Amino acid sequence: MANLLGVALFALAILVSVSLHEAGHMLTAKAFGMKVTKYFVGFGPTLWSFKRGETEYGIKGIPLGGFCKIVGMTAQDDDVDPADEPRAMWRYPVWKRTIVMSAGSITHFALALIAIWIAAVSLGLPNRDFPSTEAEIRQEPAVIALSDCVVPDNAARACAPGDVASPAAQAQLRDGDRITSVNGRPINNYGELLVALRGLKPGDTAQIDYVRDGQPGKTSTVLAQTQRPPLDDAKGTVAPVAALGVGLVPTTPTRVTYGPVAAFGATADFTRELAVGTVQALQRLPQKVPALWTAITGGERDVDTPISVVGASRLGGEAFANKAWLLFVTLFISLNFFIGVFNLLPLLPLDGGHIAIAWFERARSWIYARIGRADPGRVDYLKLMPFTYVVILIGGVFTLLTITADVVNPITLFPR
């Protein structure tokens, strides 16, 4: 039930974001004097509407987005009343049209920035100093987390009948203990613990010194056997090695909470990293199509494959059900930022396509004026329709692939 509630809340958050996107177009258009005849949340049949001034506002039956109708977006629009011709959008200066067309993406960016700042002062943002590489992890103090067992093969799985109990647990070690020596060999970090254990054989007895709650202690245990690759070659051939049955508890905090003022700087840093990650994700989209097809046809779902709104909502539901509030908010932030950037790509029918054409017209008119030729006028959108249809087709197929993958083989972050 909590999962379904989380899915519904996240889907509602997306719907609100898209509705605000369209409100950004509407409000800026009205501010410049353009005529906006309709603003609706959703698509399909109208459930409820009212008219205020010259604009009809309402809700439609399919809650998958929204739209606003600005009179005369292009010179080819044939539904403009002669009385509204002076207020047709295409007649306005290019800078005004740019603001109107980019207002949707700016709204998404604003939502993301506000959510980042709120997270920074309440939930905390991911700590950029948290160890992420193997080398950084091995420099952490050897503070341990006990495993329930030792998996004999080199596999990431839960404990099964027949697996050996954790030697560390048998030695009465506890989560949070910091190991300081093994058989008299000083241990200064987790990497040195791994090296010390690799120097022993399965079945050997390990004399362990540790610190618990500031107090030193000693214990001993018989090491179990598992299979691991060499420490200096994660892709090397696995071989039997001694195992203590522990993992690492990083002492570096995973997130940092900021004060209201310091949160602005943290928000800027997080946004910069998010922007780089979003651009890189867009660049990788084409090469992720085979992985999506593999997931649909029964293969393993790569967690790095793109997700649709369906997949994002499912992950939002998981985060909500597991009280992973930062993950819930981060999904909302990432989705808004991605939509904001994607919508500015210079492709029709995206807003970025309309902006690109407006500036192309402006540049072309300027060049023709300088060389003494007549202004060629507006771009004929009808001639661009084949390219627009190609973009829509590619986008539709990609959306269908992601939605299908999210239904038949969804990404899950909290396995049951």
Residues whose CB falls within 8 Å of the CB of residue 270, separated by 6 or more in sequence, listed in order: 116, 120, 125, 126
Assigned CATH for 134-248: 2.30.42.10
Confidence of residue 137 (pLDDT cuts 50, 70, 90): confident
Pairing of strands 239-243, 224-228: antiparallel
Residue 409: both structure tokens together: 């083989």
Which residues have a Cβ under 8 Å from the Cβ of 148 and sit 6 or more positions away? 159, 165, 166, 169
Confidence of residue 98 (pLDDT cuts 50, 70, 90): very high
Annotated domain spans of the chain? 134-248
User: Which is the catalytic residue, given 22, 192, 318, 361?
Assistant: 22
Q: Count CB neighbours of 104 within 10 A.
A: 25
DSSP state of 239: E
> Residue 166 gets which letter from DSSP?
P
Half-sphere exposure of 253 (CA within 13 A, CB side): 8
Asked whether the beta carbons of 119 and 125 are under 8 A apart, the reply is: yes
Structure tokens at 12: 């509602």
Collapse the DSSP code of 32 into the 3-class scheme (helix H, G, I; strand E, B; otherwise coil) and give the result. coil
Q: Where is 149: in which H helix or E strand?
A: strand 149-150
Question: Regarding predicted confidence, which is higher, 394 or 133?
Answer: 394
DSSP, residue by residue, 262-302: HHHHHHHHHHHHHHHHHHHHHHHTGGGHHHHHHHHTTSPPP
pLDDT digit string, tens, across residues 18-55: 999 999 999 999 999 999 999 999 888 999 999 999 99
pLDDT, residue 104, reads 95
Q: At what angle do helices 351-370 and 381-408 cross, to 10 degrees?
A: 150
- Residue with token string 């997270």: 119
Q: Report strand pairing: 178-182 vs 185-186.
A: antiparallel
Provide long-range contacts, Cβ within 8 A and 24+ apart, for 355-358.
Answer: 355/97, 355/98, 355/101, 355/102, 357/381, 357/384, 358/94, 358/97, 358/98, 358/101
Res. 288 pLDDT band, cuts 50 70 90: confident
What is the predicted pLDDT for the residue at 416? 59
Is 300 one of the catalytic residues? no
Q: How many Cβ atoms from other residues are within 10 Å of residue 87's Cβ?
A: 20
- Is the pLDDT score of 129 beyond 80? no
DSSP code for 191: H
pLDDT at 116 over 90: yes
Predicted confidence (pLDDT) per residue in 240-276, tens digit: 888 898 888 877 788 899 999 999 999 999 999 999 9
Backbone angles phi, psi at 78, to 5 degrees: -105, 15
Contact (Cβ atoms closer than 8 angstroms) between residue 41 and residue 20: no
Residue 171 phi/psi, 5-degree rounding, is: -85, 5
- The confidence score (pLDDT) of residue 115 equals 96
